[in-house]
């Protein structure tokens, strides 16, 4: 059983309500055609390189990713269809068919066997990568985590075409009732809320990118919020 709430916010208040903002150190992009390049993770690094990688992860984990000018004065860019190359770096994270999500933001969470589907790499921030083994050995084990599952990797940021499905993975050290939130930004901002029962440990559930816009997702269990994952959803241009 889940319950839903939706709150619409005017465009003038959208910047106040979104959990991420641009800054002098993370400036707004000026074009929707900025190429996205992921840093390749390696498992054989020197001690200094490993330390730098872990420091980078700690600095960037849960930070905003601004490939597109969502926080500029004009956000009409999101209504324009984008070429297939925009989605290419994220192809492993979405599929074009899936089970419908009924009466909620996500499908009902089910238990996820991390031992059978362990990722090799995680992507965080603006595309930094880290071997999963390093991540689990460094980050606290008692935090609520949310990821988008790919074929071999997990990510906290994806660009996908509208009408696609993604598989989410949530780690909840304490199971129980969870509040799941979705903030959708276009020229206005709408906040959706549903409740679900999370299993202790890893959970998996489907998310359907049903509308163009920036989708920001997170959950709260035992009064502890997870990180935010961001899905930028665009219409796909037809091949010319």
3 state DSSP class of 193:
strand
53 domain residue, yes or no: yes
CA distances from 27 to 31, 119, 176 (A): 12, 31, 39
- Contact criterion met (CB below 8 Å) for 182 and 149: no
32 domain residue, yes or no: no
What digits encode the pLDDT tens for the residues 159-181?
Answer: 999 999 999 999 999 999 999 99
Rounded to the nearest integer, the mean pLDDT of the chain is 78
Predicted confidence band of residue 16 (pLDDT cuts 50, 70, 90): very low
Name the token pair of 36.
């996205």
Number of domains making up the chain = 1
22 domain residue, yes or no: no
60 domain residue, yes or no: yes
What digits encode the pLDDT tens for the residues 47-60?
Answer: 554 455 444 444 44
26 domain residue, yes or no: no
85 domain residue, yes or no: yes
pLDDT exceeds 50 at position 138 = yes
25 domain residue, yes or no: no
CA distances from 30 to 66, 69, 197, 215 (A): 10, 6, 41, 20
Q: Which helix (H) or strand (E) holds 56?
A: helix 47-60
Lowest mean pLDDT among 15-29, 88-102, 203-217, 224-238: 15-29
240 domain residue, yes or no: no
pTM of the model: 0.73
Tell me which residue range forms the domain holding 82.
5-16+38-234
pLDDT exceeds 90 at position 19 = no
Predicted confidence band of residue 42 (pLDDT cuts 50, 70, 90): very low
Assign residue 92 the CATH number of its domain.
Answer: 2.60.40.1930
pLDDT exceeds 80 at position 221 = yes
């Amino acid at each position: 059983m889940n319950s839903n709430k939706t709150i619409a916010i005017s465009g003038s208040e959208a910047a106040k309500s979104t959990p991420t903002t641009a800054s002098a150190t993370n400036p707004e992009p000026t074009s929707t055609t900025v190429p996205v390049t992921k840093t390749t993770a390696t498992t054989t690094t020197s001690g200094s390189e490993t330390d730098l990688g872990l420091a980078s992860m700690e600095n960037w984990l849960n930070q905003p990713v601004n490939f597109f000018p969502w926080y500029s004065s004009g956000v009409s860019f999101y209504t324009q269809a984008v070429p297939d190359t925009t989605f290419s770096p994220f192809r492993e994270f979405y599929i074009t068919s899936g089970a419908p999500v009924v009466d909620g933001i996500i499908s009902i969470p089910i238990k996820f066997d991390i031992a059978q589907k362990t990722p090799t790499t995680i992507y965080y921030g603006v595309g930094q990568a880290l071997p999963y083994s390093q991540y689990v050995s460094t980050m606290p084990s008692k935090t609520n985590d949310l990821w988008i599952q790919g074929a071999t990797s997990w990510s906290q940021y994806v660009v996908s075409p509208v009408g696609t499905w993604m598989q989410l993975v949530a780690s909840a050290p304490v199971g129980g009732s969870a509040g799941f939130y979705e903030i959708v930004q276009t020229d206005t901002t709408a906040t959706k809320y549903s409740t679900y029962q999370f299993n202790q440990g890893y959970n998996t559930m489907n998310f359907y990118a049903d509308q163009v816009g920036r989708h920001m997702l997170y959950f709260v269990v035992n009064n502890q919020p997870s990180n935010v994952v961001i899905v930028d959803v665009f219409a796909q241009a037809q091949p010319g």
